[in-house]
Amino acid sequence: MPQETNISGKTDRKKRGKKGAGNMDEIAKTIFAPIYPVIAKNVLDRFGITGGVCIDIGSGPASLAIAIARQSDLRVIALDNSAEMQETAARNIADAGLAGRIELLCGDVHAIPLPDDSADLIISRGSMFFWDEIRTAFREIYRVLRPGGKTCIGGGFGNKELFASVSATMIKKYPEWEMKNKKRMSPENIDRFRTMLEEIGVPEYEIISGDGCFWIVLAKTTPGALAYGA
């Protein structure tokens, strides 16, 4: 696909932003629609965190944030650095009747505009593969996580069956998606994230992978941020 550039860069970036938000919204409401309630249930069942504050990082059209709010008493913060995605998310949240439960926050994972130790649960699906500096991003995620809280950051489709059906449809519609997704879920990419977590000194983490998913679970026992090391 040709790059859209002009002298100011402004108009085309805006066009791309609106188009990207529209595409993601369409996929989230069609092909991906069945995965969000299943992912939300998996996360809530696994961690047993059903109240407090949940941040969905790179929330896009807010499908996962909406599924989490519907299945729990968590107050959800839908964080995304794209204003266009947030406009789409605002419409979806209002249509779901959840405007009082889900707060939109335009911000970057590399500088999360929230205080230390403020989130009980941090989720993120399909976003970390786009982050420029994963060390900075994961330091920020660790900083805002409350002691006793958990994260579920990565990508996945809910279960083996959903992964199979969603992949089949995606590959038929977007053949290049197969290779892209394989790369994201590859052992080499998982190792890259594992090395990063070791380098920044995260004291406790788990990586869940297989059946088309790759999730990073961080736990935190002491308040505050990681010491600034490697």
Element (H, E) at 208: strand 205-210
Instruction: Find the shortest distance in angstroms from Cβ 222 to ligand SAM.
Output: 26
- Size of interface with ligand SAM, in residues (CB under 6 A): 19
Rounded to whole angstroms, the Cα distance separating 221 from 16 reads: 41
Q: At closest approach, how far in Å is the CB of 192 from ligand SAM? A: 17
Q: Report which residue's Cβ sits closest to ligand SAM.
A: 60
Residue 170 and residue 150: Cα distance in Å, rounded?
Answer: 30
**Using the rule CB under 6 A, is 86 a contact of ligand SAM?**
no
Is 105 or 207 the residue whose CB approaches ligand SAM more closely? Answer: 105
Nearest CA to 197 out of 153, 149, 144 is that of: 153
Distance CA 125, CA 119 (A): 17
Q: Taking the complex as a whole, how short is the minimal distance between the CB of residue 52 and ligand SAM, in angstroms?
A: 20
Span near ligand SAM by CB under 6 A; candidates 2-10, 103-111, 182-190, 194-202: 103-111
Classify residue 176 by burial, with Cβ atoms within 10 Å: 0-12, 13-18, 19+: exposed
Which neighbouring-strand residues pair with 91? none
In the bound complex, what is the minimum distance in angstroms from residue 202's beta carbon to ligand SAM?
19
Say whether residue 88 binds ligand SAM (CB under 6 A): no
Residues of the shown chain interacting with ligand SAM in the complex, contacts defined by CB under 6 A: 24, 28, 58-60, 63-64, 80-82, 85, 108-110, 125-127, 130-131
